Structure formats: structure tokens, C-alpha cells
Copies of this chain bind each other. A is one copy, B any other.
Amino acid sequence: MRRFEDMDIVDLQELQIELQNRYDEFKAQNLNLDMSRGKPGADQLDLTMEMLDCINSESRLIAENGTDCRNYGLIDGIPEAKELFSKMLGVTTEEIIVGGNSSLNIMYDTIARAMTHGVLGSELPWGKLPKVKFLCPVPGYDRHFSICEFFGIEMINIDMKSDGPDMDAIEKLVSSDESIKGIWCVPKYSNPQGITYSDEVVDRFARLKPKAKDFRIFWDNAYAVHHLSDKHDELKDILAACKEAGNPNMVFIFASTSKISFPGAGVAMIASSKENIDFIKKQMFFQTIGPDKINQLMHVRYFKTVEGIEEHMKKHAKILKPKFDTVLSILDAELGGKDIAWWNKPNGGYFISLDTMDGCAKDVVAMAKEAGVTLTKAGATYPYGKDPHDRNIRIAPTYPTLEELKKAIEILCICVQLVSIKKILKSRTHKLHLLKVGS
């Protein structure tokens, strides 16, 4: 493979024609391939069908503490669900609330309550302050950013490095600006880069000295057990680290079984210090009498233990690994060594993050769309949908079938090359023009 920058104009133009032909052939197939969202495929959903047999009309639906799961009550979930998921997250049963089917919902509610009432230790509800800011490691998860946007929280981009966000920048900002109240993190197999924060990064988070006494780390551990193979990344325990650093109340941990059991009917949770959890439960009293406890019971009866969850995740990995490998091998074959695109090779999670040359992502996504491949909107991985370099594309390889995925990635690679060539040719022509003008 040659670097595109090293090729002369004629070679580039020849390649351009060849790629355009391939593109036109795909376009003629009227494809409709969706790689836009991190959704499990139907074959993954099939893995959990037997969970639905764990509850039927003959079941005794009484929780460990004697509560009838069919009736009202237990605002923080049934004891056995708290037991199972607290172990999954490495916290105690006093440090968790198990809720409904959506961790996004719990995150939204957490921010909403902070806006109207504040978090533990807030002097004022955040909504009463002249300005509230959040730090946003980028690229990141669009749904986090849109919650901030909805509540008028100003977002500040923080660059991601290979082992987590730029901690120098974070330390400097949070220690000097009292209006910075939080930061969004996907600390394990991050969305979209698949990066797991190093121990040092976790420790530096735990040791933050925020100017805002009610600063919170929103630790969305969405992919805690979502490995692609036996090669697991390890994430240091943030709550333990925060306690050790004397900041026990600084972190909110979120997780769900959306990508363990069913995205449409899973169980979501928040974990934090007992003090935070007690505070949140008091606030939640006004909102609900309790979550769907039958669904929680069904999950516990099916998975039984953390080992049960881990075994189950191996089945997901078996389906997902070939999809990730396919994407990576096509990226390698089509784009490797050309110095026009860069991507990660994650050990887990749901995404592959592709960086094009600056100023190319939007055009690539639009061009792929025209050939029937729907990608996540360019810019979506940045606050306000604005990628300052216009270069990041989030590839979500899980939902399409392997066959669809092959086509979709091939098309994507053709688009990346075509847009890159166009950009390089334009810049060369411009330089030639400048030379002529100069001579």
C-alpha cells in the first residue's frame, strides 16, 4: 500500500476512476444497510430467549425479603437483583439502585434532579446557577451530550488519549472553574473508541480536587462485561479509588443489561456511595413507588450469578468477534498504509472509531448514505454534533448480518478513499495555482 500523499496526480486520478466504478456498482444494488446505532443483532437477542421461561403462571414471585414482586414497593429494586448487579459492578448492596429498563433514563433523571434540586452537597439546584458546564471527552456518546444540550448545560470538549481522557486538561479545568459540575465518561470499551481508562487515569479521576463541591463524575460503565474475546481490558474500581482519595461521593456509576439480555426489556442501575444512594432514594420517592420487579426477578433467576452473566457474554462475543474482525480486516485491506484513515482495535464494546483526514467525515457519511449505507451522523460523537476536525466516524458493526457488514464496510472504505483523493487533488491544484500566481 502506498501513502496517498506520495502518489502523483495521474495515479490518484486513475485510482479515483477505479474506485468510482466500484462505488457506482454498489449504488446500483439499491442497498439498505444500517450501521448507525449500537444495537444488538437479532441473533444476539435470541441468546436470551430462555430467560422468558424463568417466569410463568406457576412461578412464586416473592422476593428474598418476602416482598410480592407483583405488588407495589421496593423503590431501589428487589434484594436479589441488588445482590447480583452490585457484584457485577463491584459495589455493596447499599451502594446500588436497580431500576427499570434504561440506564439512559437513570442518567437523564439524575441530571434532571440535579437541575431542579441539586445533588448531595449542592448549595443550590444546578438550574438556579447562572451557568453549568460539563466536560465531555471526545469523541463520545451522543446521548450523553444531548441530555446536556436539553438542560442548557454548556459542554467543553476534552481530547481522548490512548488510555483515557486528557487528565491534565481535566484537572486544570475542574480545579479552577466552579461552574463545572460534571464529566461524562464511558470508562471501559469507550463509545466509540473502545478505549479502557488506565489505572492511572482512574486514580487521577478519584483524586480530582474540583472547585465545585458538588462536582460529579458520570461513569457510564455501559460495557462492563462486554468483551469481544478472552482478552479482557481491566478497569480499576472508581468507587473504591474515590473512597481512598477522600472523595467518596464524587462518582455516579451507571450500567444496564440492555446489551446483556434485551435492550427493549432489560434492567438498569445506578451505583454510588451509600450516602449518595440514600440521598437519591429520598428524591426518587416523589417519582415512583418502584420499578418492574417481575422483570428483575426474571433476570436474577436466569443469570443467577456474575459468572452466569460472564458465561452469557461469551455467547455474545462469539457472535460479535467475527463482525469486528471483518470490519478490521476490510479496513486493513482497503485503507491500511494509505495514511488517510486511522482506527482502533477494541477488546470489547460496540464500536469501532474511524478517523478520516480532517474535513472528510461529513462527505464520507453522505456518500455512503447515497449508496445505501447508513452510518451514525458525522459529528454525532461530539457535543452539539460539531466535530471540530470533521474527521470522526462511528462504526457500529453489531446490528447488520456478517454479509451486510462486509458490503457496508467495503462501501465505507471506497467512500473514504474517494473523498480523500478529492481532498488531496484539490489541495494539489490549489498549490499549483498558488505556484503559477506566484511565478
Contact = CB atoms under 8 A, between A and B. Distances in A.
Nearest to A112: B112
A293 B49 CA distance: 14
Given A70-B45, A295-B295, A55 B57 contact: no
| From A71, A101, A150, A294, residue with most partner B Cβ within 10 Å | A71
Nearest to A147: B286
A247 to B, nearest CB: 28
Contact of A71 (B72, B115, B264, B286): B264
A432 interface: no
A105 B52 contact: no
A288 B108 contact: yes
A337 to B, nearest CB: 37
B42 A52 contact: no
A185 to B, nearest CB: 19
Contacts of A92: none
Contact of A53 (B49, B56, B143): B56
A17 interface: no
Interface in A30-81: 37, 39-40, 42, 45, 48-53, 55-57, 59, 68-73
Given A115-B116, A151-B116, A263 B104 contact: no
Given A42-B68, A72-B263, A264-B71, A116 B112 contact: yes
Interface string A119-154: 000000001000000000000000100110111000
Contact of A56 (B52, B117, B150, B291): B52
A136 to B, nearest CB: 15
Given A45-B68, A68-B42, A289 B263 contact: yes
A194 B150 CA distance: 40
Interface in A275-309: 283, 285-295
Contacts of A265: 69-70, 292-295
A263 B69 CA distance: 9
Nearest to A99: B100
Contacts of A258: 72
A4 interface: no
A292 B108 contact: no
A102 B286 contact: no
Contact of A146 (B69, B71, B286, B292): B286
| From A39, A68, A287, residue with most partner B Cβ within 10 Å | A287
A262 interface: yes
Contacts of A292: 100-101, 264-265, 292, 295
Contact of A104 (B42, B56, B287, B291): B287
A52 B127 CA distance: 43
A105 B290 CA distance: 9
B262 A294 contact: yes
Contacts of A149: 286
A37 B101 CA distance: 26
The list of the 3 closest CB pairs from A to B, nearest first, reads: A265-B294, A150-B286, A49-B57
